[in-house]
Structure 1
Amino acid sequence: MLHKIVKIIAVIISVLSLVFLGGILASEDKDSAWISPLINVSYFIFAACVAVVVIYVVKNLFSKKETLKKTLVSVGLFLAVVVISFVLADSSEVKTNSGVVSGTTSKLVSTGLNTFYLLAIVAVGTMLWTGFNKIKK
């Protein structure tokens, strides 16, 4: 039943999107009156999708304790990587052509880069380890 309702809503939204797209393409003005309603529909669809995903994820997490435990461990490990990246981050001010980047901003950018590098190293290491184990067997 829910699947049929979602299909019907998807068809309605698709038809509305085609109507808005046709209005934009038919208009010769760059600032068409069709753009604002299309953006509002996009925001509504995005919010609805996020809400549905969050509801089902939370429902499935709390229905299975094993899944909840694995998820909490994964989130904890990710937060540990972010904390390690934050500790290793450089917070010195950086001079640019347009001004000076503050130490806080520099630290946050450095944290993001360090997090990316650590996760990339873990991903490559995991792929090498599983490849090595497959070759070994």
Structure 2
Amino acid sequence: MGLHKVLKIVAFALAIIGAIFALMIMTGDDETALSMSGNMLYIAYTVLGIVLFLVLLFVIKGLFSGNIKKTIMTVGAFALVLVISYSLSSGSDLNLTPFTDKGLDVNEATSKNVGAGLNAFYILAVIAIGSMLVGGAKKLFNK
């Protein structure tokens, strides 16, 4: 039996179990709903674990069966974007006193990390949109 068929059966079984738990939550009283929602979380954690395992498995399989040089270059380009976004982030351009007065542990390092994440998102979004536009333009002009 192929892996695709096994995964379809597992996905179908988990969907049925989830639907049964959801119906039990909707039709039960508050105490039953509270205990059943915990069971739904266990199902969600199980599905998340299966998905993460399969993603790692197929990434590693594809990494060793494909072009390793291209993969390393792609990972290096992503790391370069992260380094650039971290270096662009200052961390001191935010007034942190409202957050620290409320008891939140926000300091300049946290602000710098959040700024770096936002910068990386913006850079990757511009690259993605640009690549879609370039691909569409090439397709348009090649016809």
**TM-score, with normalisation over the residues of structure 2?**
0.79
Runs of 4+ in 1 over 6 A off after TM superposition: none
Counterpart of 1:116 in structure 2 is 121
What are the within-5 Å matches in structure 2 for residues 30-49 of structure 1?
32-49=34-51
Counterpart of 2:9 in structure 1 is 8
Structure showing greater relative contact order (alpha-carbon pairs closer than 8 Å, 6 or more residues apart)? 2
What are the within-5 Å matches in structure 2 for residues 1-137 of structure 1?
1-2=1-2, 3-29=4-30, 32-64=34-66, 66=67, 68-92=68-92, 94-99=95-100, 101-134=106-139
Alignment length (residue pairs):
135
Assess if the C-alpha contact under 8 Å between 1:89 and 1:111 holds in 2: yes
Matched letter for residue 74 of structure 1? T
| C-alpha displacement of 1:113 | 1.6
Secondary structure of the residue aligned to 1:20 is helix
- Please give the alpha-carbon distance, in whole angstroms, between the structure 2 residues aligned to 1:123 and 1:10: 31
Any idea what the Cα deviations from partners look like across 1:63-92, whole Å, max 9, x if unmatched? 22x2x2222211110110110111111121
Matched letter for residue 28 of structure 1? D
**Structure-2 change in CA distance of 1:9 and 1:127 (3 Å):** closer
- Please give the alpha-carbon distance, in whole angstroms, between the structure 1 residues aligned to 2:61 and 2:13: 27
| C-alpha displacement of 1:97 | 2.9
- Please give the alpha-carbon distance, in whole angstroms, between the structure 2 residues aligned to 1:129 and 1:10: 38
**Structure-2 change in CA distance of 1:8 and 1:117 (3 Å):** closer
| C-alpha displacement of 1:133 | 4.4
**TM-score, with normalisation over the residues of structure 1?**
0.82
- Please give the alpha-carbon distance, in whole angstroms, between the structure 2 residues aligned to 1:89 and 1:118: 13
- Please give the alpha-carbon distance, in whole angstroms, between the structure 2 residues aligned to 1:121 and 1:15: 41
Secondary structure of the residue aligned to 2:96 is strand
| C-alpha displacement of 1:94 | 2.5
Matched letter for residue 113 of structure 1? L
Secondary structure of the residue aligned to 2:56 is helix
Matched letter for residue 4 of structure 1? K
Structure 1 regions of 5+ residues with no counterpart? none
Structure 2 regions of 5+ residues with no counterpart? none
